[in-house]
Structure formats: structure tokens, C-alpha cells
Amino acid sequence: MSKQVVLIPGEDAAAEAFEETVIVLDCLIDHLGLDIEWIRPAVGQAGIDEFNNPFPDQAKHAIDHSDATLFGATSGKSGRALRYLRWGLESYANVRPVRWFPGCNSPLSAPEGIDLAIVRENMEDVYIGVEGDLKILQPMNFTSWLSNKPLNELGEGRFGLKVHTEKSVTRIVKYACELAIKRAELSNRNPILACGTKHNISPVADGYFRTIARETAAEYPEVTFTSLLADDLIHQLIINPQQFDVVVLPNLFGDLFSDATAALVGGLGLAPSGCYGENGAYFEAVHGTAPDIVGQNIINPTATILSAAMMLEYLGFDEPARQVIGCVEQIYVEGKYLTPDQGGQSTTTEFCNSLKEKLRSSNK
Ligand code: ATP
């Protein structure tokens, strides 16, 4: 049966990387005879409009009935599509692999062996989307346990809620444990999982995340689980990233730490991601739309291509996914067709042409 994949290119330079990636995938599909069908739904207007129009039914239907979605990145116009993919589909596990391979422009003197995966809870934390005027909270007579001051004394201001629920923490940590076990099997070592929270300053909310994470990880005795303060964790990730394998984080830390760790291996141009849930999955680069380089044909497509490789794997096309990754690695080793962020002078199109050439010759 053919696999149906929804394509949503997004905006700015990210859309340029996206379209080049689709051309590479078309080449792979032709050469290997993969049964994949693209669907390009119209995704509607920017943001929430004044009439609060819902996400177009046709796009929703296409996503609901597809096997996966490949997404560019959004600066707003495709924002409702992203919101549907994430909160509508409940794609709760955002996996962001961080791996150095020879030729990547790492700022570190010894990046060899960096190979970890950030597993970011994708729906809650401050992304619960509940904010308001502090006045709403004043009748509740909250007092800060840190300053001992009643909330009423803070004066004019706004608040944003941070929420961790038992269901969400349990499922993300289960996902992370299972990923740690899978990765350990592939590399023939023991599964390890690190968790980062700010439980000293947020003993109730982050403390809860940590407690549930610990209890859940205990159901996987083969996984060595460590809990760190988030500030210590990011410091450790930067000074000795090779010691980590899977790192599970609440939403906001996951977002911040994955950009930081992408920098260790050579930047956002290299960082892919997949978002998985019970009802589907979508794949997109970690980076945003890169509006500052739009129209120049210099955006590094590697992050989008590696996200597409994660998608191929998810669809059951393991060998084609390995081929894509292998050919990308060859381009970096050769260093001839790299984009400016990697110290090269090639365009996005030249990088992708070189990749197509390699895919063709590996399938002769
Ligand atoms: P968002 O808020 O949507 O996540 P952002 O603020 O993180 O976006 P990005 O769009 O990710 O911003 O870009 C940050 C910087 O990294 C920009 O200078 C951009 O040009 C650069 N950048 C991002 N992705 C790439 C890429 N694939 N290739 C080259 N440069 C990139």
C-alpha cells in the first residue's frame, strides 16, 4: 500500500530547503521504486484571524488520513498547521538527535563521538498556552515560598502557567526509556537516560516531573537513569557531550537545550527532528524559517534532509533512510559542496544535486 505523506513547506529560507529536499526524495523514490504519494493541502491564513477561523478541514483531513507529515518551518503563515500537527495530533515526543560526523563545522576541538538524542515533551510546560493578568490570581492569596511575599504585593504584571501532568510525563519518559534501549542495542552498550529539571526552584511543578520521571524509569531496570538540575545538565552537555545518550526534558528546556547542543556539532543547519504521537507523526528541522537568508539559496538543507530520513525510517523504509544518511555523510567528508554555514561556498541546490548524484550512483 502506498504511503501518503503531507507536505507543508512553511516560509522563508526554510521553504527553500524544503523544496530541494522533496526533489531529493523524488529522486530516491524513482530510483528505488518507493511507493510514496505526496499531498499538498492548502493550510490557510496566518495565525488566528479576527474571525478565529479553524484550521481548514481539507488540510486537517489530509493530515488525519496520511502516514506522516513533512513540515518546513513557520514564521506564522503555516502556524495553524503546526498547532494542529502538535496539539491536534498529540505528537507528544519531540526527538532531536545531535550527532557529529566528519566534516561538520563544530566549534569544538574534539567533537568525535557526540551522538545523543534530546527527547522533548512537546505539548505542556509553558507551552500549555495559559497566560493572563496577575489580577486573576490575586483572589487566590498565593504567597511566594521563595520571597515570602504575597502575590498581591507584586503590583501590575502578567503570568504564564507551567504545567506538567502525570499522563504527559509518564508517556514522554516511557518513550525516552524505550528509545534509550533501542539505541543501546544498536551500539551494543547499556542504555542510559538523563533527565533535567529545575526542581530546586520549582519543587512543585518540576519536582513533580522529576518524581514521575524517576518512577517511570524504574519500570525499565536496564536503563541507568540520572536526574540533574537543568543548569548543571546544560553545562555538562557543553563540556562533555560524549557522556550522554538520551536526554529527556520538559518542553522549554528541550527547546533551548536542543539549539545549544546543535551548536556543538556545527549549528542549526544540521539538526533534524521528529515529533511522534499515538495518532501520527511529523518531521521538521529544529531551526526556524531563517528569514535573514531568504532568497539567497544558501540555507543548509541537511537538517531538513535528515528529518526526511527520520520520516523514511518511521514509514518503514529503513534502508533508503540509511542511504540518505550515508550519502549526506559522504558530502561532508568530501567537503566540496558544503553551504556557507559549514564553511563552504555551495548553494542549497548544489548540495542537493550532489546528494542526488550520490543516491543515483549508490543505486546503480
Ligand atoms: P524560530 O523562532 O522560528 O525557532 P529562530 O529565531 O531560532 O527561529 P532560525 O530561523 O532558526 O531562528 O535562525 C537562527 C539563525 O540560524 C539565523 O541566522 C539563520 O539564518 C540561521 N540558520 C537557521 N537554519 C539554518 C540553516 N538550515 N542553514 C543555515 N543557516 C541557518
- DSSP states of 225-236: EEEEEHHHHHHH
According to the model, what pLDDT value does residue 225 have? 98
Across the range 269-273, mean pLDDT stands at 98
Residue 126 has what DSSP assignment? Answer: G
- The answer, yes or no, to whether residue 52 has pLDDT greater than 70, is no
What percentage of the chain's residues is helix, strand, coil (to nearest 5)? 45, 20, 35
For the CA of 304, the closest atom of ligand 1 is: 27
| C-alpha cell belonging to residue 29 | 523514490
Question: How many angstroms is it from 262 CA to the middle of ligand 1?
Answer: 11
Q: How far is the CA of 143 from the centre of ligand 1 (A)?
A: 40
Mean pLDDT computed over 215-233: 98
Mean pLDDT of the 100-121 span: 98
Please tell me the distance from the alpha carbon of residue 232 to that of residue 198, in angstroms, as a whole number: 10
Q: What is the pLDDT of residue 53?
A: 55
Find the mean pLDDT for residues 80-105: 95
For 106-125+163-265, CATH gives: 3.40.35
Q: Which of 97-111, 146-160, 211-225, 232-246 has the lowest mean pLDDT?
A: 146-160
pLDDT greater than 90 at residue 213: yes
56 versus 281: the higher-pLDDT residue is: 281
Which residue out of 19, 287, 300, 305 has the highest number of ligand 1 atoms within 8 Å of its CB and is therefore the one to mutate? 287
Q: Residue 47 above 60 pLDDT?
A: no
Give the pLDDT confidence score for residue 50 in this predicted structure: 44
The percentage of the chain sitting over the pLDDT mark of 70, rounded to a whole number, equals 97
| pLDDT at site 272 | 98
Give me the mean pLDDT over the 55-78 stretch.
Answer: 90
CA of 243 to the centre of ligand 1 (A): 27
Q: Where are the domains of the chain?
A: 1-93+272-364, 106-125+163-265, 126-161
pLDDT band at 296 (very low <50, low <70, confident <90, very high): very high
Distance 140 CA to ligand 1 centre (A): 41
Mean pLDDT of all residues in the chain? 94
Alpha carbon of 20 to ligand 1 centroid (Å): 17
3 Cβ neighbours under 8 A, 6+ residues apart: 34, 35, 36, 37, 67, 68, 315, 316
pLDDT band at 55 (very low <50, low <70, confident <90, very high): confident
- What spacing in Å lies between the alpha carbon of 218 and ligand 1's midpoint? 38
Residues lining ligand 1, Cβ inside 6 A:
17, 73, 268-269, 287-290, 292-293, 299-300, 303, 341
Q: pLDDT class for 54, splitting at 50, 70, 90? A: low
pLDDT of the residue at 51: 46
Least confident of 20-24, 170-174, 186-190, 327-331: 186-190
> Which atom of ligand 1 is found nearest the CA of 289?
10
Phi-psi bin for 24: left (phi > 0), alpha (psi -120 to 50), beta? alpha
Q: Is 196 helix (H, G, I), strand (E, B) or coil?
A: strand
Residue tagged 513533580 (cell numbers):
208
Q: How confident is the model at residue 45 (pLDDT cuts 50, 70, 90)?
A: low
- Segment 295-313 shows an average pLDDT of 98
Nearest CA to ligand 1 atom 6: 288
Superfamily, domain 1-93+272-364: Isopropylmalate Dehydrogenase (3.40.718.10)
Residue 352's pLDDT is what?
98
Q: Are 337 and 318 in contact (CB under 8 A)?
A: no
